Amino acid sequence: MRALARRQQAHHLFPDISGAYSVMDLYSTARRVLFAMNPETAHAVTMANLDWIVHLGLHKLITHMPDDDPVTVMGVRFPNTVGLAAGMDKDGTRVSAFGGLGFGHVEIGTITPLAQPGNPKPRLFRLIPAQGVINRMGFNNEGVDQVLLNLRSADAFRLRGGVLGINIGKNAVTPIENALSDYEKCLDKVYDHADYIAVNISSPNTKNLRTLQGAGELDHLVAGITAKREALKAERGGKHVPIAVKLAPDLENDEILRCVDTLVSYGIDGVIATNTTINRKRVQGLEHAEETGGLSGAPLRERSTEVVRLIAEHVKGEIPIIASGGVMTGADAIEKLEAGAQLVQLFTGFIYNGPKLVADCVEALAAWRKSGR
């Protein structure tokens, strides 16, 4: 009810019938300005201005804070079912500002042990007619030590009950055979600072990273990661920080289920389905479609949901699923929960549809959950 009143108030400020402004027009205008810039500049401008925009409450002209719709997943209480996917706030500098837009959780990263510049620019492309994005950023980040300092930006968010996920990966210079040691280094450093840790083995933009999803490789990696977690836990009087592993949508279905069986057998707490795709079937012929990298947004939605459903039907509740891939509307978010996910994450939908998408998804999912499915 309160949310509805606030929405009406916002419409009152910007009456559609006057023809002057509307809530949607305002984001359309901002988007026109941002889309006139190259995508990476638009991202930098957004990040540079987000704090003061949220601090002054200007975001309230286009969205509102949704009422809480709490859910416990991986043993953690999330204030609502919608989070920001990894890659938007790679260095953890704007966590509370994103929280102010209504996200219940914010996943920062992917971070690596050492700072690294990522791939040469240009490395980010919009596929506007398909509502998609292709990126080959390559884990550009300030490195785990600096990111932990940046995380003062998360204090206000976490005080309000917001959930911080830290997504970890390996440096480009680390040979793939030594990947485990990079994940261990990150685990060691982030363990006391994260509400959950996401292990990224599915980005297409770090050479050979996705081979870590192979049978022997995954077994070795997850055995090492869970052993490290047990050691950290023992040192901290039993404090358990959940770990989720993020998978690619491009694996064959039987490979996905084999990966999930491995995760369950080692006691991994969650699976994030999915990362971006290297498949270009849905964007053939569009400008930038042949750029190297991972495709996200609307063209990824169907496959990503299929993976969520495949996993959910296989694990029957044994491991929770965080859905990521192509959520552009509240209805898309419902599709993910209907397929068996417990949480959803946004990235490309946020770029195309703006901050209002967060409240739209939270409210659509709250209503869906209340309706008893």
Ligand X SMILES: Cc1cc2nc3c(=O)[nH]c(=O)nc-3n(C[C@H](O)[C@H](O)[C@H](O)COP(=O)(O)O)c2cc1C
167 interacts with ligand X by CB under 6 A: yes
353 interacts with ligand X by CB under 6 A: no
Q: Please identify, among the stretches 24-32, 131-139, 152-160, 226-234, the one whose residues bind ligand X according to the rule CB under 6 A.
A: 131-139
Q: Which is nearer to ligand X, 118 or 214 (CB)?
A: 118
* Among residues 62, 201, 263, 300, the one that binds ligand X under rule CB under 6 A: 300
* Among residues 42, 50, 82, 86, the one that binds ligand X under rule CB under 6 A: 86
3-class secondary-structure state, position 12: helix
* Among residues 130, 166, 343, 346, the one that binds ligand X under rule CB under 6 A: 346
9/12 Cα distance (integer angstroms): 5
Among 96, 153, 202, 203, the active-site one is 203
DSSP-derived secondary structure for 118-175: -SPSP-EEEEGGGTEEEE-----B--HHHHHHHGGGGHHHHHTT-EEEEEE---TTS-
- The set of residues, in sequence order, having a beta carbon less than 8 Å from that of 47 and lying 6+ positions away, is 89, 93, 94
Q: Least distance to ligand X from the beta carbon of 345, Å?
A: 7
Residue nearest to ligand X (CB): 87
Q: x/- contact string, 254-293, with ligand X (CB under 6 A)?
A: ---------------------xx-----------------
84 interacts with ligand X by CB under 6 A: no
**Burial zone of 108 (CB within 10 Å; 0-12 exposed, 13-18 middle, 19+ buried):** buried
Q: Least distance to ligand X from the beta carbon of 134, Å?
A: 8
296 interacts with ligand X by CB under 6 A: yes
Q: Under a CB-based contact definition with an 8 Å cutoff, are residues 87 and 137 in contact?
A: yes
- Strands 82-84 and 76-78 turn out to be unpaired
CA atoms within 13 A on the CB side of 41: 6
Q: x/- contact string, 14-53, with ligand X (CB under 6 A)?
A: ----------------------------------------
- The set of residues, in sequence order, having a beta carbon less than 8 Å from that of 230 and lying 6+ positions away, is none
96 is catalytic: no
* Among residues 325, 330, 340, 354, the one that binds ligand X under rule CB under 6 A: 325
Q: Least distance to ligand X from the beta carbon of 372, Å?
A: 27
255/214 Cα distance (integer angstroms): 8
| Residue whose entry in the numeric block shows the structure tokens 């996705």 | 210
Q: Which amino acid is at 163?
A: V
| Residues lying near ligand X in the complex (CB under 6 A) | 85-87, 90, 109-110, 124, 133, 135, 137, 139, 167, 200, 203, 246, 275-276, 296-297, 300, 324-327, 346-349
> Catalytic amino acids?
203
